[in-house]
Amino acid sequence: MDADSRKEVVPSDRGAPPRRMAQSPLAPLPQAALPADGFDRGLHAALGRATSAISPSSLLLAYSDWLSHLALSPAKQMELVQKAYRKLHRYSLYVPHSLSEKEPPCIDPLEQDRRFSHPEWRQWPFNLIYQSFLLTQQWWYNATTEIRGVSQHHEEVVTFVTRQLLDIFSPSNFPNTNPEVLRKTVETGGQNLFNGWSNFVTDWERARAGRPPVGTEAFEVGTNLAITPGRVVFRNRLIELVQYSPSTETVHAEPVLIVPAWIMKYYILDLQPHNSMIKYLVDQGHTVFCISWKNPDAGDRDRGMEDYLRMGLMDALEAVGAIVPQRKVHAVGYCLGGTLLSIGAAALARDNDERLASMTLFAAQTDFTEPGELALFIDESQVTFLEDMMFDIGYLAAGQMAGAFQLLRSNDLIWSRLVHEYLMGERAPMNDLMAWNADSTRMPYRMHSQYLRRLFLGNDLAEGRYRVGGKPVALSDLSLPIFCVGTTSDHVAPWRSVYKVHLLADTDITFALTTGGHNAGIVCPPGTPRRSYQILQRPAGGKYMDPDAYLGSAEHREGSWWPEWQAWLEGLSGGRVAPPSLGAPDKGYNPLEAAPGTYVYLK
């Protein structure tokens, strides 16, 4: 029987008990059937297209909470008046000495703020301009924080949105107040502005036509990206499973199964030969399998988390077990794929299924109480708004997700690009990771709604309420060793949130904290410059160490963490054997297309 044809009863995501409907002909219709419900969904979807998927109600609630409590806090108001006076006084003392570049500034930018790092910002009058901006920015931070009675979530939303609004008016964003742009304009006779306008028009036309950014043409999947040899050995309506060809005469006995996130194309782990994690593992003698998720469309709107678990992880695990029989599997999960793997591993442990030899998590959260700045976009109002937008078309479009991620790093991903490409007239060179990032994916309606409600809002996995096959799962059931990787600059899965796996699983955990962000910290092959990591093992039954204590105790090592992880995998493997065949035709797993398969090309 085709797995997709099986029907399943899905409980309400709201968690409310079912209501018995009256049999009277005058009984009210279920809410979803009311005509007004469809109208409201359509209205919200239209609003979402105009607001980049941000719920106006969510912003209104946050600012109302902040403003009403500030209005009832005269002492806080007086404190803000005093702070404004002190900043004005400090600025007035700085002005007479501002002609001297040796005069120290009255306020320094935050460590991560590189907008005013060029020496030309120390010259008059630009030093006065950027100093006044930073003082204003600091005052608004004081005005939006530490107001008694405001909920933490609303405070974070107000602070974040206010900072975004202020950043629009940063002096670095305007040619008349940016000394670097002015110098470039004089040197080129205005050619930079002409080039910048040309860059803007090109980008706008490509965005309108749905074409990828300039420079991505140099990177093509199957040509110079995702070229590690292998074959698709299994396919269903949600995944293709790729088995990679061995490059060594013998291989480690236990295979490796990689579960990437379906929010991204899998080949971030197989970019080019010099930075392909998959090729690195194959060259170290591992038999590697990797899931390639189908890019969902409107026809996949009703695929839920249970489908991704059953048709993704479990079907892949069945295939790996048939091709490499009688061997346990080293399972690896990245981002959402790591969260899914954690759920699946807990379900297997609950059912006394011992097919997994180990579990590795790359930047994957299992406890969502502190998910970082991404939580700014996730509350009941925002999730409902997203559900209505997805309901309209059956999925969450890639551009809507990309907008939220860009806002989290707006100075790096939006404003610095505006200055560099549109004011300076210079194109940033395209690289393989940027080209991969432009190869976007979608999220089906039902799955994304369940993911947001059950994990982000409900934190069901960490609190023992997440159900697989009708029964709850818990990471405390795990006894297999875990290797967990966090990255220092992760805005999607902050490392302190990833570290919470220590509170949920009482097993052997090796935690590596590497420099870099959510993607660049993971794609970190040996030889990558300016990379380092910390690593510490907590044995099964060991005492809990909080993240700050971890920072003080974990050993610092230079270079890539890949060899450390590979040695960990090797230590858990049972010796070398002859490579298995590609697929298992006698068991129904015929080798199909050559890697990278067909699903990776779906737009």
More confident site: 597 or 102? 597
DSSP for 253-278, written as a single string = SS-EEEE--TTS-GGGGSSSGGG-HH
pLDDT in tens, 517-528: 999 999 999 999
Nearest alpha-carbon partner for 322 in 595, 592, 590? 590
Helices and strands: H and E segment counts in the chain: 21, 16
Q: How confident is the model at residue 393 (pLDDT cuts 50, 70, 90)?
A: confident
Distance between CA atoms of 398 and 377, rounded to whole angstroms?
16
Phi and psi at residue 305, to the nearest 5°: -60, -35
* 464 φ/ψ sector (left φ>0, alpha ψ -120 to 50, else beta): left
State the alpha helices, DSSP H only, in 145-177.
Answer: 152-168
Q: Which residue(s) pair with 544 in the sheet?
A: none
Q: Considering the entire predicted model, what is its pTM?
A: 0.88
* CATH number corresponding to 230-365+459-580+589-601: 3.40.50.1820
Dihedral of CA atoms 447, 449, 452, 457 in degrees, nearest 10, equals: -140
The two tokens of residue 437 are 């990032």
Nearest alpha-carbon partner for 60 in 381, 411, 524? 381
Lowest mean pLDDT, pick from 50-54, 64-68, 123-127, 456-460:
50-54
- Residue 401: other Cβ atoms inside 10 A: 19
Give the pLDDT confidence score for residue 191 in this predicted structure: 96
Distance between CA atoms of 293 and 431, rounded to whole angstroms?
23
- Residue 250: other Cβ atoms inside 10 A: 12
> Three-state DSSP class for 471?
strand
Among residues 106, 335, 484, 524, the one annotated as catalytic is 335
Position 201, amino acid: V
Q: Which residue(s) pair with 358 in the sheet?
A: 330
Q: How confident is the model at residue 101 (pLDDT cuts 50, 70, 90)?
A: confident
Residue 405 has pLDDT above 70, yes or no: no
The two tokens of residue 30 are 């279920």
State the alpha helices, DSSP H only, in 233-335.
Answer: 277-283, 305-307, 315-323
Q: How confident is the model at residue 408 (pLDDT cuts 50, 70, 90)?
A: low
Residue 361 · residue 371 · CB < 8 Å = no
Residue 415 · residue 167 · CB < 8 Å = yes
More confident site: 441 or 17? 441
pLDDT in tens, 507-552: 999 999 999 999 999 999 999 999 999 999 999 999 999 999 999 9
- Residue 118: other Cβ atoms inside 10 A: 15
Residue 238 has pLDDT above 80, yes or no: yes
pLDDT more than 70, % of the chain: 91
Q: How confident is the model at residue 10 (pLDDT cuts 50, 70, 90)?
A: very low
pLDDT in tens, 319-375: 999 999 999 999 999 999 999 999 999 999 999 999 999 999 999 999 999 887 777
Give the pLDDT confidence score for residue 102 in this predicted structure: 80
Distance between CA atoms of 381 and 51, rounded to whole angstroms?
14
**Is 335 designated active site?**
yes
Residues in the chain: 603
The two tokens of residue 203 are 């980008």
Residue 40 has pLDDT above 90, yes or no: no
Give the pLDDT confidence score for residue 413 in this predicted structure: 60
Residue 476 has pLDDT above 70, yes or no: yes
Residue ranges per domain, the chain?
230-365+459-580+589-601
Give the pLDDT confidence score for residue 8 in this predicted structure: 35
Contacts (Cβ under 8 Å, ≥6 apart) of 468: 306, 309, 343, 344, 346, 347, 350
Give the pLDDT confidence score for residue 112 in this predicted structure: 80
Residue 481 · residue 572 · CB < 8 Å = yes
Q: What average pLDDT score do residues 299-304 get?
A: 92
Contacts (Cβ under 8 Å, ≥6 apart) of 47: 56, 385
Q: How confident is the model at residue 388 (pLDDT cuts 50, 70, 90)?
A: confident
Distance between CA atoms of 561 and 555, rounded to whole angstroms?
12
> Three-state DSSP class for 325?
coil
Give the pLDDT confidence score for residue 33 in this predicted structure: 44
